[in-house]
Amino acid sequence: MSESYQVVFTGELSPDTDAERVIERFSEKFKLERAKAEKLIRGAKSVVLKKGLELEKAEKYLAVLHHLGMVVELDPKPPAPEPEEAAPSLSGLALEPIDNGGGDTTEVLDPSQLAADRCPKCGSRSMELGICQDCGIVASKFLAAQVRQAEMGTDAEEEKEEEANPYSAPEADLVEPMEGEMDGPHGVPASHGWAWIAKGWWHFKEAPVAWILALVIWVVLIMVIGIVPLVGIIVILLTMPVITAGFMYGCFEQDQGEDFAISHLFTGFSNNAGQLFLLGAFNFLLMLLVGGAIMVLMISTVGLGIMAAQDPESMAMMFMAPGFILLFLAAFLLTIPAMMAYIFAPALVVLDDVSALTAMKLSFMGSLKNLLPLTIYGLIAHVLMFVGSLPFGLGLLLVIPVLTAAIYSAYRDIYYS
């Protein structure tokens, strides 16, 4: 079986190459969204573009991408080409080099074997040193080309077309998802709910100090911003996706072999920050709608009178009433779609460069396809949060980073093969 090859982009561009031009041409050539092409080319990281190729097709991709200005290579390295053998002669004609007195030699037919010194193309007798003085062809090269065409079954038109466009790409271009490209959301087994948390623990234990310090800094910032009434709460809600995106990016860096750093806390402010703030605005409006719906249910269920009376006995009876229990369940059910639309959205915006609205749609779809593993994750998360809050809440310094990194693990599991 012939060996298969993969085309690898090294993350570098050819010297004096305009990155914008490469992005534009790469996107157009391989029918790839410009945002994805830009992320790939500006990522400055090695990426497998295509795999499972035969050598001939892999070399075509190599030529196309080199022509675009990208530094690419084949893995494994192809074998060194064998020295070309002299083309077989026609009717026993032998090829031999004739020295013209300079550094170059011209390959011609042995004059003693030229039939009547006729040109093999136009039939002219004006032949000197195997070169036709009328049409200008070199007889040996013309005959050798005929031999190659006869052996390979290639007609002249196809050969001319190939020579005219040496960078023509194979029919199967890079239209299939590249290695590492998002191809979800898709459903995963329920047991993955625990696997996400286990992977979250791996992320935490790789850089526990950085994770804890980043969390402490964010909590302090929340406390400072929250001092301002109302405005502080709005600012926190708007910036929450930006901060969450920073944690997601830190997890991504860890997956790439890098270290999680405290600076990742603010990475979202320089990576698609506009869409992340817009995501915060959408989430804030969604929360207002859910809150408004809950308020309407409360008024219709228990009445304004009991709510305004603030009588301890009346309030106790209200909490024990079946209507209030149903109200609580209804409120909880209303918050679930909002959480589903948000949970993976920050990661999708910062790591996949999608818009805020698209990220919320993808997050909702991914959650809908994975209700069982997310339920298991949620149950375990509640237990861990309860246990972590017992020793003066210090355990939350471990639990919250683990659960945050687990969300990244779930995102990778659901949206990538």
Residue stretches of the chain with pLDDT short of 50: 1, 86-116, 154-173, 175-179
pLDDT in the model for residue 251? 94
Interstrand relation of 5-13 and 70-75 (parallel, antiparallel or unpaired): antiparallel
The one-letter code for the residue type at 281 is A
pLDDT in the model for residue 243? 95
Cα-based torsion angle of the residue sequence 206, 400, 372, 268 in order, rounded to the nearest 10 degrees = -80
| Domains along the chain with CATH numbers | 5-75 (3.30.1390.10), 95-156 (no CATH), 192-415 (no CATH)
26-58 tens-digit pLDDT: 887 777 777 777 888 887 777 878 777 888 888
Closest CA to 201 of 383, 374, 381, 403: 403
163-189 tens-digit pLDDT: 444 444 444 445 444 445 677 799 999
pLDDT in the model for residue 289? 83
Cα-based torsion angle of the residue sequence 357, 360, 365, 368 in order, rounded to the nearest 10 degrees = -150
The span from the CA of 37 to the CA of 191, in Å, is 35
pLDDT in the model for residue 132? 75
What's the CA angle centered on 366, arms 364 and 367, to 5 degrees?
Answer: 65
pLDDT in the model for residue 262? 94
The one-letter code for the residue type at 21 is R
Q: Token pair 């402010």 is at which residue? A: 269
Which backbone phi and psi does 38 adopt, to 5 degrees?
-65, -40
Structure tokens at 271: 């990576």
Report pTM. Answer: 0.57
Neighbours of 325 (CB within 10 A): 11
pLDDT in the model for residue 32? 74
